[in-house]
């Protein structure tokens, strides 16, 4: 597996359609983590599933990435233009962001997020489910190291859930 300590090399690579099985496997782990604080139904096949992944290769405003740390699979990022939570069509949205537990608190997520925002300059929103305190702590720590003020925070209800939305400019 991985040793404890900082990671020397973080690589954010574009995921191609033939990487879909890898992304689906990572999304299963992501959904499993989510099931701790949000009702996520598991299918009869023992999988959570992820609807809409194919759109990341068929719609030009969607961008899938695999995160690697020291050459090893470490997570994923799914980026899209337009926020389904706030309804703002002009912002970049970090739709899904996941780092494997063994790579957390080692700088992988912060560096991967920095690379995403470097590739997509402009207006951004990160929407954090209020019940996801772990993600809330990550973004609370990571955003100030990545972005310069000002950021705008708001609270929304969407999809039957309560969200903290952080808006900022990158680049």
Instruction: Tell whether 91 is covered by a domain.
Output: yes
Instruction: Tell whether 138 is covered by a domain.
Output: yes
Query: Which segments of the chain have a pLDDT < 70?
Result: 1-6, 145-152, 154, 156, 158
Q: Render pLDDT for 1-18 as a digit per residue (tens, 0 to 9).
A: 545 666 778 999 999 999
pTM of whole model > 0.75? yes
Instruction: Tell whether 24 is covered by a domain.
Output: yes
Instruction: Tell whether 82 is covered by a domain.
Output: yes
Please name the residue that has the structure tokens 């739709």: 95
């Amino acid at each position: 597996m991985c040793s404890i300590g900082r990671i020397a090399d973080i690589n954010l690579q574009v995921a191609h359609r033939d990487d879909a099985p890898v992304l689906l496997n990572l999304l299963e782990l992501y959904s499993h983590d989510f099931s701790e604080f949000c009702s996520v139904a598991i299918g009869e096949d023992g999988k959570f599933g992820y609807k809409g992944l194919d759109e990341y290769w068929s719609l030009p405003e969607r961008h899938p990435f695999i995160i690697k740390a020291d050459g090893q699979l470490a997570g994923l990022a799914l980026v899209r233009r337009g926020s389904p939570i706030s309804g703002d069509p002009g912002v970049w949205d970090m739709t899904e962001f996941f780092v494997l537990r063994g790579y957390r608190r080692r700088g992988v997520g912060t560096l991967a997020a920095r690379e995403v925002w470097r590739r997509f300059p402009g207006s951004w929103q990160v929407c954090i489910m209020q019940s996801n305190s772990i993600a809330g702590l990550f973004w609370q720590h990571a955003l100030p190291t990545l972005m310069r003020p000002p950021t705008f925070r708001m609270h929304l209800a969407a999809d039957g859930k309560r969200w903290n939305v952080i808006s900022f400019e990158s680049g």
